[in-house]
């Protein structure tokens, strides 16, 4: 399949799931996760009209995106990976959205960077929805306090993000994230990857983060 075909197939999957859920596909942002892929692999998707892209490492994003943005000034960059506080300033400078706000020290670092740069990326608070020790994300129990802290510090909190446990049915975790977001009065839901876009859309995802289904397997 060409990149155009892959993009069209993804749009068809999102549209089909949205139709069943009686949702407007326009309310779902496809974030093309281009981590590990060189700019030559990204350009065809930009040429096909895709504008939202995700990277998981600040350094890699900084190496790839300034050049691509000169060609496509309306491209939007989402940072979806765990973020070290000492990279917050660069992250805020580069990104239009940060999906991995997950602890007070990072809230503080991002708030300082917002003050220093005047930039205001959309922020998603990442929730460790399966309570997995090895995974990033705030514990469910700690979320209300972290949300208050983020909002008080001046972050624009667009919603919640999760990566459910691997290799088991993700739908219960997506449903839980949606419920927690609703209870917190948040509308944004960053959930769903290549293998579970349909479940995520049916349970309310506003942002799906898709890598391998668009770019092929990563090395």
Binding site for ligand PLP (CB under 6 A): 33, 35, 56, 80-81, 163, 193-194, 209-213
First CA to last CA distance, the chain? 18
Q: Which is nearer to ligand PLP, 160 or 193 (CB)?
A: 193
Are residues 10 and 212 in contact, defined by beta-carbon separation less than 8 angstroms?
A: no
Residues sharing a CB contact under 8 Å with residue 195, sequence separation 6 or more, in sequence order:
213
Minimum gap (Å) between residue 7 Cβ and ligand PLP: 13
Minimum gap (Å) between residue 68 Cβ and ligand PLP: 18
Which H or E run contains 215? helix 212-215
Q: Which of 209, 210, 142 is nearest to 180 (CA)?
A: 142
Minimum gap (Å) between residue 6 Cβ and ligand PLP: 12
Minimum gap (Å) between residue 194 Cβ and ligand PLP: 3
**Total residue count of the chain as it appears in this document:** 219
Residue of minimal Cβ distance to ligand PLP: 211
Distance CA 172, CA 180 (A): 12
Q: What are phi and psi of 193, to 5 degrees?
A: -130, -165
Q: Which is nearer to ligand PLP, 42 or 193 (CB)?
A: 193
Q: Which is nearer to ligand PLP, 113 or 163 (CB)?
A: 163
Minimum gap (Å) between residue 118 Cβ and ligand PLP: 27
Q: Which is nearer to ligand PLP, 73 or 133 (CB)?
A: 133
Q: Which is nearer to ligand PLP, 111 or 126 (CB)?
A: 126
Q: Which of 60, 48, 43, 44 is nearest to 94 (CA)?
A: 60
């Amino acid at each position: 399949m060409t990149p155009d075909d892959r993009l069209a197939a993804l749009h068809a999957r999102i549209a089909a799931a949205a139709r069943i859920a009686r949702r407007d596909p326009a309310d779902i942002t496809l974030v093309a996760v281009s981590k590990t892929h060189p700019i030559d692999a990204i350009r065809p998707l930009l040429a096909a009209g895709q504008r939202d892209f995700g990277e998981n490492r600040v350094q890699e994003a900084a190496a790839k995106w300034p050049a691509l943005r000169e060609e496509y000034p309306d491209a939007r960059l989402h940072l979806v990976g765990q973020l070290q506080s000492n990279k917050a300033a660069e992250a805020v400078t580069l990104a239009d959205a940060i999906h991995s706000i997950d602890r007070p020290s990072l809230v503080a670092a991002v708030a300082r960077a917002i003050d220093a740069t005047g930039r205001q990326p959309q922020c998603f608070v990442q929730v460790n929805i399966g309570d997995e020790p090895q995974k990033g994300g705030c514990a469910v129990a700690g979320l209300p306090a972290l949300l208050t802290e983020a909002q008080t510090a001046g972050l624009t909190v667009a919603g919640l993000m999760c990566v459910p446990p691997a290799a088991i049915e993700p739908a219960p975790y997506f449903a839980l994230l949606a419920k927690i977001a609703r209870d917190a009065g948040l509308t944004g839901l960053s959930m769903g990857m290549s293998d579970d876009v349909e479940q995520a859309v049916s349970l309310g995802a506003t942002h799906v983060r898709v890598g391998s289904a668009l770019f092929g397997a990563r090395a």
